[in-house]
Amino acid sequence: MRQRTVDLCAGLSAEDLQLQSMPEASPGKWHLAHTTWFFDQFVLGRDAGWTSPRPAWSFLFNSYYQSVGPMHARAHRGLLSRPSLAEVLAFRARIDDAVDDLLARDDDRELHAVVELGLQHEQQHQELLLTDIKHALWCNPLQPAYREPLPAPVAGAVLPLRFLPGPEGVLEVGHRGAGFAFDNETPRHRSLLLPHALANRLVTNAEYLDFIHDGGYREPRLWLSDGWDTVQREGWQHPLYWHDDLDSEFTLAGIRSIDPREPACHLSYYEAEAFARWAGARLPTEAEWEIAAAGVAVTGNLQDTGRFQPQAVLGDKGLQQVFGDVWEWTASPYVGYPGFHPLPGAVGEYNGKFMCGQWVLRGGSCATPADHVRASYRNFFPPQARWQFAGLRLGQDR
């Protein structure tokens, strides 16, 4: 997993990895350093005999762990021309060697748990590295490709949209207790599901184009109040990365024609919710989504395919595109489950303190590692966020 992060930077220059295109994104070099700082701080720091080789860097590469100490302002991470990329990569190698040595002589179960948390954290930053570099390259007037060529779009017709009834009643959701899970996936608890149905596939670009042509971005009655204010303030007329001609878009392989069969992507919660309302439907709740996904294998268009772009649905039976392609916005605010308690110590700041003003997404995307996501996985972003690979599946009441 550690090497995979470096591999994702192959072909990117030191200048590319220095870019921070907006406060919400981070430079690739910062991702490389921060994920290493995590092991330096929380894994090696458990050893009383350990001395960090770069103690001053803790201020630079701490993200939001207030209990560990102060940190450099997030919006100014792109100003850190020093340390150099070479120094950061050397730091990674030094920390990896030290962690290997520690694991060879310490078989403590708690240590193993923190290492696993660090690796899962690493995978989250692999996805962020891809989404952040896409935004940075898009901001360049030349709109250069991250990697070219990437696999060609798949062939085939669009699967007709239909709604599949979901189970109803009092059902259990949340992590079952086997294997790794973040604290926000627990505890497992009962949830009431009313009669409902979920669409068999994700909303496509063609369907989203219909929304645009029907005046979706001009009709305030379709939008939440904050969403409409955002549309007016930001001048949104289409998804992020689409060109105004509504015929082409920017991808990690550069500019290409919009494939009408592919899932609509880079949508905010506001846009997903407005589209669902326009379509006479709604967004699924996270409990509805999780119950439906619990029996589905974690396969699909995920990071491991190397496609880095949503693709048209390939299956034709049952619930499709559950994992991969795009994160699916849900109708559920990001809050703690009944009885939730964050992890003890500084790592408890990882999830719990963000449970305000954010919405839950499910299912992973084409930038998510396949062995990172699961049915109980809860991603979360503020409702105006668009630079993540996020789209939607429709739900409806029955």
The pair of three-digit structure tokens given for residue 122, joined into one six-digit string: 């690493």
Q: Does residue 329 share a domain with residue 187?
A: yes
Q: Does residue 181 share a domain with residue 33?
A: no
pLDDT per position as a tens digit, 60-79: 999 989 889 999 999 999 99
3-state secondary structure of 162: coil
**Cis preceding linkage at 149, omega within 30:** yes
Rounded CA-CA distance 52/41 in Å is: 8
294 CB-contact burial (10 Å; exposed 0-12 / middle 13-18 / buried 19+): middle
Per the domain annotation, does 42 fall within a domain?
A: yes
> How many structural domains are present in the chain?
2
Domain final residue, candidates 139, 173, 201: 139
Q: Does residue 196 share a domain with residue 312?
A: yes
pTM of the model: 0.96
pLDDT per position as a tens digit, 22-75: 999 999 999 999 999 999 999 999 988 999 999 999 999 999 898 899 999 999
Predicted local distance difference test score (pLDDT) of residue 219: 98
Q: Does residue 271 share a domain with residue 130?
A: no
Q: Does residue 185 share a domain with residue 56?
A: no
pLDDT per position as a tens digit, 272-281: 999 999 999 9
The per-residue pLDDT of the chain, averaged, comes to 95
Q: Does residue 225 share a domain with residue 349?
A: yes
Predicted local distance difference test score (pLDDT) of residue 251: 97
CATH number at residue 135: 1.20.120
Predicted local distance difference test score (pLDDT) of residue 384: 98
Q: Does residue 384 share a domain with residue 299?
A: yes
More confident residue, 285 or 108: 285
Q: Does residue 297 share a domain with residue 377?
A: yes
Q: Does residue 169 share a domain with residue 130?
A: no
**Minimum mean pLDDT range among 105-109, 166-170, 365-369, 371-375:** 105-109
Q: Does residue 133 share a domain with residue 214?
A: no
Per-residue confidence band for 386, with pLDDT thresholds at 50, 70 and 90: very high
Q: Is 107's pLDDT higher than 90?
A: no
Range of the domain at 270: 163-397
Indicate the DSSP class of residue 43.
I
Per the domain annotation, does 363 fall within a domain?
A: yes
Per the domain annotation, does 354 fall within a domain?
A: yes
Predicted local distance difference test score (pLDDT) of residue 150: 80
pLDDT per position as a tens digit, 214-239: 999 999 999 999 999 999 999 999 99
CA distances, 353 to each of 64, 127, 348 (Å) = 10, 21, 8
CATH number at residue 209: 3.90.1580.10
156: left (phi over 0), alpha (psi -120 to 50) or beta: left
Per the domain annotation, does 84 fall within a domain?
A: yes
Per-residue confidence band for 204, with pLDDT thresholds at 50, 70 and 90: very high
Per-residue confidence band for 347, with pLDDT thresholds at 50, 70 and 90: confident
Per the domain annotation, does 149 fall within a domain?
A: no
Predicted local distance difference test score (pLDDT) of residue 272: 98
pLDDT per position as a tens digit, 307-344: 999 999 987 889 999 999 999 999 999 999 999 998 88
Rounded CA-CA distance 188/170 in Å is: 13
Per the domain annotation, does 300 fall within a domain?
A: yes
pLDDT per position as a tens digit, 1-12: 999 999 999 999
369: left (phi over 0), alpha (psi -120 to 50) or beta: beta
The pair of three-digit structure tokens given for residue 2, joined into one six-digit string: 């550690």
Domain final residue, candidates 102, 123, 139: 139
Q: Does residue 220 share a domain with residue 104?
A: no
Query: Got the DSSP string for 300-344?
Result: SS-GGGS--S-------SSS---SSSSEEEEEEE--PPTT--PPS
Instruction: Tally helices (H) and strands (E) across the chain.
Output: 9, 11
Domain final residue, candidates 105, 139, 173: 139
Q: Does residue 95 share a domain with residue 217?
A: no
Rounded CA-CA distance 88/30 in Å is: 9
Per the domain annotation, does 157 fall within a domain?
A: no
The pair of three-digit structure tokens given for residue 18, joined into one six-digit string: 């220095």
